[in-house]
A and B are shown apart, each in its own frame.
Chain A
């Protein structure tokens, strides 16, 4: 199946710092999404992107759908302790088929 390469695998940052993570693929995706998973819970949708080149914000989060449709990035500004968790990118191709990246583990030190 298709694969997404997500980086970095983990990040250790200080509270207040900005964070950037990205996903790349050799395949084209119609949709890019970013999910966050808190410990012991299921993933929660953060941002969905449907058009190549689209830049979308959700509070302190900003994500972009790469112009080639093969990549996406997520930025978090002014991190806070509750940003801790695992962030997943996901790419959609045909209806209902969703491929996830390996995840980025984010740790925020107060």
Chain B
């Protein structure tokens, strides 16, 4: 089944404790992206990647890191999480054709930073 998977689905952590949220897709997509969803703000793009070793900042990249060493994986790293990073996070992928806008989303990761 074609899908985008994220792990973990739920995470409660404390301020300053480094964490990684993994994202993997099995569709051989070139494009991948991370978003955060907050009430009343919709989805905001954190980082995106057009291909292996190619990443770029979205609208809200501060406090996040990403890497794209393999085509299928695009982990999101929070080096020193803070309470304002409490949010619902989505990973998405796309073939990249037509601008990469037609995206398949994962099921989401709900992160709470205490």
Contact = CB atoms under 8 A, between A and B. Distances in A.
Interface of A: 1, 4, 6, 30-31, 33, 40-45, 48, 50, 88, 90, 92, 95-103
A96 B31 contact: yes
Interface of B: 4, 31, 33, 35, 40-45, 48, 50, 56, 58-59, 90, 92, 96, 98-108
Contacts, number: 69
Given A42-B105, A48-B101, A95 B42 contact: no
14 contacts: A33-B101, A40-B108, A41-B107, A90-B43, A90-B101, A92-B100, A95-B99, A95-B100, A96-B48, A96-B100, A96-B101, A97-B48, A98-B33, A100-B44
B101 A92 contact: yes
Contact of A42 (B41, B96, B102, B108): B108
Given A88-B43, A97-B58, A31 B99 contact: yes
A59 to B, nearest CB: 17
B101 A98 contact: yes
A28 to B, nearest CB: 14
Contacts of B31: 96
B59 A31 contact: no
Contacts of B90: 42-43
Nearest to B100: A96
A48 B42 CA distance: 18
A9 to B, nearest CB: 8
Given A92-B99, A95-B50, A1 B59 contact: yes
A86 B11 CA distance: 24
A101 B101 contact: no
Could you say which of B43, B45, B48, B90 has the most chain A C-beta atoms within 10 Å of its C-beta?
B43
